[in-house]
Chains A and B, each alone.
Chain A
């Protein structure tokens, strides 16, 4: 009887590991990392590279200044705001609770960059609407889904959910998948039965 073979291991070198777009593999040499670290020595917190994607983490109050610096600096020119979203880090760390994630893209230089900042409940993130008009709805969605408040946003109200939705923010990790209420479909007397114990999150 032969030993059962184990699962094939993940290859060491990934086909996605290319250095085509931003040059050196050392993140310290990345121009955005270098320049932001020089310009904002206090606000710059860390840089993470995963699958050739560079993520820099900055302090929350400096987010707008950093993004504006990345947008206007002649060597960087991250002029396209791709996305703003948030991640509820409830199960991953103690504090701060959320990460606000800003995806930037530079059309002239063909590079992506991700800028993150941590924010706790009740704290305010500087809004990016004064810099990028396209941040408007993305921040509204972020507020709608996570309850993160953006300081300086001209029109922060719910966007996808109804304006009088009073059940909190559904993409938070402590929000149940089927909501807090039992909804009764018109024409039925009782709500649909809740399936117990579905989709529990297995540990990492």
Chain B
């Protein structure tokens, strides 16, 4: 067994026993669950944003729909919130199809702008809907009635639930990545026109990626609701949520299987710890530190942290090292 096998295996074992290792600290145990939850959302975004290169900045819409479907299942029907998750997935996938057909024709920034617009529109509509609790939001079961309410004191059950879901999301993504669709999506990302000219049905595959991505983002929303037990328009549809999904994926490496997870592994602890240790002073230092680190990574590793571990093509040796060639610019 060589190192290339041992390292991933060790990381997997670490992921499996993390909650046991952090039994002593509820905060760190919970942080593990939060990382996984964020990774689910960012990995969902990665399918359409990373692989297909369609940068959606409105993915919170699907997250919010998932969270609201769950809370509605409880508030209006009295069911355990998680029962609402399939409904959320159905609505999200349907809405993605509805939004995707017209907006995925837009290219570049225009698609991003359209997704922002849809996100804000839904947020405003939800905040004026009495059925959805208006701007005040809706709460899940205050006290767990049965274990199905998924309301636990310890973060350990959440951790394992999130780990399984993340495993499914990454598994599906992996399948796509290696299959025909993965090649199509990458071709579209590199040059949609070239892909079309080669017979790739670009519109259809972008739409599939968008719908799949929406469905998974919705699951993340439902899980969030189970853990926090409350949702309001800002925490369900706020633009910051969408931005965080993008930043996490970009930071780790957009279009790479483990990119969003790596991004979440850095950003979530950074956010939590900087808030815990600096937030109490009340000068907003948290965000300054948070922002500075993102800027540093963006400046020095623009393709994400995972690019550090990529096998780089062997440097081309100049055949005739002249002073002119050394001083000249490659591009």
Say whether A and B bind each other.
Answer: no
